[in-house]
Copies of this chain bind each other. A is one copy, B any other.
Amino acid sequence: MAQKPSIPKGTRDFSPAEVAKRNYIINSIRGQFEKFGFQPIETPSFENSETLMGKYGEEGDRLIFKILNSGDFLQKANEQAYAEKDSNKLTASISEKALRYDLTVPFARYVVQHRNEIEFPFKRYQIQQVWRADRPQKGRFREFFQCDADVVGSDSLWQEVEFVQLYDAVFTALGLNGVTIKINNRKVLSGFAEVIGESDKLIDFTVALDKLDKIGEEGVKKEMQEKGISSEAIQKIQKVFGLKGNFSEKTEVLKQILETSEIGRKGIEELEFINSAIDELKLNTATLDLDVTLARGLNYYTGAIFEVAAPKGVAMGSIGGGGRYDDLTGIFGMSGMSGVGISFGLDRIYLVLEELDLFPETVTGNIKALFINFGEKESLYCLKAIKELRAAGVAVELYPEEAKMKKQMNHANKREVPFVILAGAEEIDNKMFTLKNMKTGEQAAVSFEDLKDKLE
């Protein structure tokens, strides 16, 4: 096999610099998750197919990667499907396992399977890969990480408050100031549909409303009318299109619009509770904003809906989202388990930090210094120092071969090592080291203690 090897489309190799940056983000998120009392779980990369199939709609089923059964898999193949050469129908009989499509369904499965070991409310986080057979395109991959935090077994609104704080804490820790945490409530959306007398068209209504940013008021109204919502109905919520001002100003207008809807008023009440708690507790660098056009995952969410927008000026879709769902585990036969959760978009956060140049310089995973190799005796002298430096937490290494000085210096340059250390016969006799700063070119003879101080 002499042709240049490649990887499947939609997947990625990560170089040392990329892994270091990705781990920096993941560790920041993990650190905040843990401070907020979330505990990590991990589930297998593949689940039994019946655990996943049918949970994400027809399109989702298609996008799930299926694993071919091992051995003589055709033995159990569905005969009719085989005769008809029907791929779709054949799949279940030759593939029993499938790669994780998201972290939510496996989490629901985990909760039901381990319900007797879990102490509720259960605050779990999970940072693992998921796989989707989507058409790859810029920024969309077939393998990517999801970073989710959820609480199940409590319908307290303090959870929503906490998630707003958690978003603020993570983005503040990453130095990504000025994000907007947009919040909406499914009950408010239900209220709109109720008020206009089109409760059965809730989905059409919200899907259209969600496009306000993109297609404008007239566009949204047009789409609503196309879906059979009358102009008179739309007129009843005219004020929704012009919502402006701060959080309280918006809720005041909403109260007028939703005056006659009980569920709508409940939604406003929830929004106000969250907003007033956040007012009291203050956010560090983020802003909480009410956005009634927000409708993500509507089939799923029953209360709060969250989405995080990058700081103004950064052209990037949402970098996080989530919401409350009333029945996470019903799909596995365990009902009444309310939950709320949020997730972070690792790949997009990476791009934003890159664009704004927010990765700390220290996030390279690089060594601090390279010891030049002058031969066996000199190497042993250096390795003794190296051992002590590593024990003190300093990443250093010896060039492995007694190569020409130029080659070794070149290696240090290419790897962007900040310091090079030289120890030849003279240094060894004097129990010293020559420390060379690769940026400035300065060099000086130093004792081991000085060396350690400099590098620490």
Contact = CB atoms under 8 A, between A and B. Distances in A.
A199 interface: no
A151 B398 CA distance: 13
State how many copies of this chain the complex holds: 2
A106 to B, nearest CB: 9
A233 interface: no
Contacts of A42: 13-14, 19
B39 A16 contact: yes
A14 B41 contact: yes
A34 interface: yes
A363 interface: no
A74 B73 CA distance: 14
A385 B33 CA distance: 17
A396 interface: yes
Contacts of A401: 154, 156, 158
Contacts of A43: 7, 13-14
Interface in A119-144: 119, 121, 123-124, 129, 131, 133, 143
A101 B395 CA distance: 31
A156 B400 contact: yes
A333 B3 contact: yes
Interface residues of A, number: 109
Contacts of A6: 48, 113
A291 B36 CA distance: 50
Interface string A59-103: 000110111101111110100001001111011001111010000
Contact of A66 (B68, B74, B110): B68
Contact of A143 (B45, B154, B162, B280): B45
A169 B390 contact: yes
Contacts of A121: 400
Interface stretch (A204-212, A243-251, A376-384, A419-427): A376-384
Given A143-B44, A158-B398, A387-B165, A90 B67 contact: no
| The 4 nearest A-B residue pairs measured at CB | A16-B39, A11-B44, A37-B397, A156-B400
Interface of A: 1-8, 11-16, 19-20, 23, 32, 34-37, 39-48, 50-51, 62-63, 65-68, 70-75, 77, 82, 85-88, 90-91, 94-97, 99, 109-110, 112-114, 117, 119, 121, 123-124, 129, 131, 133, 143, 151, 154, 156, 158-159, 161-162, 165, 169, 277, 280-281, 331-333, 365-367, 373, 379-380, 383-384, 387, 390, 393-398, 400-401, 411, 414-415
